[in-house]
Structure 1
């Protein structure tokens, strides 16, 4: 069965709406192997991934059985036992930086078959997840998205961004000062047990990270059936600090250049650093490889210090930058009071939310030690407010985008996504929200 921690009650509103369309909305019994396999195959087919082999299905059943897996079935269809829509969800901590985190509801594998579009299925799935999470007292919902045009309608906003880099290494020197400690070439499989431990420490440093499950790590290290064919190409290195403690690692592969043996392409599959020294040392290791003309790395932080580590910053190209983690606030006081703040101030946030979860006027009061209190505004709606208070009117999707501090307040103001209720309020909110590091999520879920 689905892990009891994630087994929230099925949303009755969504069930009734889909029943009116002649569709059955139900939670999957993951102990039913055949049903679970059909659900997995349907979800991956809907996202245009290759079908699972029997071994891959076994891995996924073991590794993903903890999720709350929901399906929609059309029992009048030619294949009544295979769902026409899916969604998976689970409780997960979301890092907020400064060694803080908050509980969130992770949502994944959302798909509706092309045969069943325009019947309200996606709305029922998403709103059902939000109602279930809110009823369970979970303050934030989160997801990574394949299409950026879909989820704003349910109050999600892009909160963490990522960048893809390409570095031309010919003649490039790493100019950053050498750090204490040592990089070791290691067998990738031997590094696998350490990876979650190092990643947990790394995640404490930045907002936006979520812990990965065992299946993710097995796939990253080419130990799962779906990625086993990559094992011969996968290489690994580990950084130990001066005391011998592992503080970072990198997984990478090298593709031969068809014409020039001195100009291969090195792809960073995953680089994880729990300290600044680990980050610098691992990038030095990657960029100092012989017979490599290009290094490429995807899903990296937008404030990666790469251009400042090397002799020629122009050799570091940002080839893509995009939103990655989307957040949806369900409980404003809990969500906002969980993180630390960069300045002391008082900001009245007047939030609109078509689904009602975050609707209201909320007084955010931050202190010099970074903590905050959030209370419902006691006055009449849009009533008198102390002139010393900054005032911001915004939708819940903008609130989600701002939560981790990675979205510029001024950009949202200029775009009309938030409105100042008093002059200078946007600048004051920006000063309060400013993070030490840009929020970042290093994986998909």
Structure 2
């Protein structure tokens, strides 16, 4: 990237250069050059920026079909965001040359921030003209929930795409089918563990108990203890925020033994198991507290592998949740299109369609991140899959939050039950595995930053 004069417009070559060279290596290096590396707010901005750059890269590669104004708006926005990030990191070093090695390269981007913001707004204006005709009326091949007698075959099949379809369908139809505890958590932990000592588990009736009262999925915070006995293992402790505990027949539990966190299997009706339903936001999908008191358990996989199992399971589970979130987003956009003001009120109509267009840009980027996570989950590069899963969770959680907020703003014109369910599901999928703050740190950790 070569410095230019004081122009506020970037050439196509400069844009391509910035989109290519602003990445998980150059941006952390920029922060380290200014002693801002430990700034938590900037670290979150870094995570958001890396996620946005990846989404735009996928859109530019044609991984998601979208109208040209969507791509134009997404590209201009992420470059403008990058310019603001650079300015905040450089601080006074941007105002005058003090020897920072990044200033000359990045100054043109910062100068162009205002024009890029205006460019994104113009693209949104263009998209708003026909957003309800060409965007909201998209193909909905995945939107029909699979029949109750066949969805389990897809959810527990060998391909990640089958479970992704079930999750998207559950999100779009606001289904009461609680597929996630077994297919999204329990079965994923079982698969990640490998070499199980008990291969007779009915994975269709299981769940995973990993988090404790802090709600964290950090293996270092596991306090539930596992004690070796003459006949196997016994667990003592408690788990919180466990989905599907009331209907599960088997419970996978992460507990700590002398070798570290490990994965165990417990029968739901075993001695010493107490399941307490918590006062949950979603009554259809309640969470539970489970207490174990010298409960007999079977070790799954290897001792001390619980940390790896928890991390990999979170990566897989967030990819599943991303699918449900995108189903919810598409359902919400359909609902929002029904509340479109009359074209006779041109000012209200224009304002409303611009908001829909804005959501469509967010939706396209999130979809691209979700597709990438599913694709990489089916491959052999576990590190790339982990980072892709974290980005998908960030992008799709943001998308579902944004549509939920917009729905709430126009709730009086929509079906109240749909709005309530969408908002509730949006919260649940966003917060179950720790929420936005942990999601951003999880991404940086997965990228080795």
TM-score, scaled to structure 2: 0.31
Structure with greater helix share of residues: 2
Structure with greater strand share of residues: 1
